[in-house]
């Protein structure tokens, strides 16, 4: 996975610099914020914002594939595989590599501190590692719109990536990533039809980078539409714009 670290006067400026270096677009990269910009006291001693940007591998899974072969939005291409039987982290050392066993053990410890006894199964996919949580029947580890899964995934990648390299780790529970993806794909097509029928741009609710990327990918081959992200921060809005309709930012007030 190709990655670069860049600086800028703001997070957005640092991201733009990274996109120029990588020669790609925002929806095709994973952004890690290393430092926020700081002005310092009386304008002295300030620091620039710094980010690390990594190009994601393209997704090739289609909506019609079996749910067991579809994964989260930020994932690399998946390969069909037989269902994985959940295993305790202590049993993973033989069947999986050292990184997988350690990641599973850390994730189990984190969710235990949350107050949930869950098991973690590891599946090595092409280009990434998938940690599957089982035992949480309440859905607490999924959270609203997958926000808890996103937080757990972020923590695991920071802990493991710091010590053992750039292996991309995804976290899932109750097949949520596949179900969420299917729902977003359906919504994307519905909103795209609405935008074309009414001949006006449609702005979606704020979404995580994972979710925005799914919508981008679903609509990227529709030549009668363009999509772009709007706003700042982790949860940004995605705008679907029919061909010939001005971008909302350029429309007169």
The answer to whether the beta carbons of residues 104 and 89 sit under 8 Å apart is yes
Please tell us whether the domain made up of 67-174 is placed in CATH 3.40.50.300: no
Distance CA 225, CA 223 (A): 5
* pLDDT of the residue at 73: 34
What is the average pLDDT across 114-134? 86
Average the pLDDT over 67-91 and give the result.
36
What pLDDT sits at residue 160?
83
C-alpha 12/C-alpha 20 separation (Å) is 12
pLDDT at 89 over 80: no
How does residue 62 score in pLDDT terms, banded at 50, 70 and 90?
Answer: very low
- Confidence at 94, pLDDT banded by 50, 70, 90: very low
| Between 137 and 61, residue with greater pLDDT | 137
Give the model confidence (pLDDT) of 176-206 as tens digits: 988 999 999 999 999 999 999 999 999 998 8
CATH number of the domain located at residue range(s) 179-250 in this protein: 3.30.1370.50
- Please give the pLDDT value at position 166: 57
Structure tokens at 104: 């599973």
Query: Looking at the predicted structure, is the pLDDT value of residue 88 above 50?
Result: no
Q: Give the mean pLDDT of the chain.
A: 76
* Domain edges within the chain: 3-55, 67-174, 179-250
pLDDT tens, position by position, 224-233? 998 888 888 7
Contacts 24+ apart (CB under 8 A), 155-163: 155/110, 156/103, 156/106, 156/107, 156/110, 156/131, 159/106, 160/99, 160/102, 160/103, 160/106
């Amino acid at each position: 996975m190709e990655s670069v670290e860049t600086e800028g006067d703001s997070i957005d400026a640092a991201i733009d610099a990274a996109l120029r270096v990588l020669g790609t677009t925002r929806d095709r990269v994973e952004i890690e914020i290393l430092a926020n910009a700081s002005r310092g006291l009386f304008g002295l001693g300030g620091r620039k914002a710094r980010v690390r940007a990594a190009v994601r591998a393209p997704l090739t899974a289609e909506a019609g594939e079996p749910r067991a072969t579809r994964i989260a939005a930020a994932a690399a291409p998946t390969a069909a595989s037989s269902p994985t039987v959940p295993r305790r982290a202590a049993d993973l050392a033989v069947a999986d590599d050292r990184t997988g066993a350690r990641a599973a053990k850390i994730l189990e410890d984190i969710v235990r501190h949350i107050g949930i006894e869950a098991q973690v199964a590891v599946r090595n996919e092409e280009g990434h590692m998938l940690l599957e949580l089982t035992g949480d029947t309440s859905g607490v580890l999924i959270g609203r719109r997958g926000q808890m899964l996103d937080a757990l995934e972020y923590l695991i990648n920071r802990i493991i990536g710091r010590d053992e390299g750039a292996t991309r780790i995804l976290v899932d529970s109750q097949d949520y990533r596949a179900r969420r993806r299917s729902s977003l794909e359906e919504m994307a097509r519905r909103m795209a039809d609405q935008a074309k029928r009414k001949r006006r741009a449609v702005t979606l609710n704020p979404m995580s980078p994972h979710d925005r990327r799914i919508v981008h990918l679903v609509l990227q081959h529709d030549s009668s539409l363009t999509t772009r992200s709007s706003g700042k921060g982790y949860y940004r809005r995605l705008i679907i714009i029919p061909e010939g309709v001005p971008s909302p930012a350029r429309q007169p007030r």
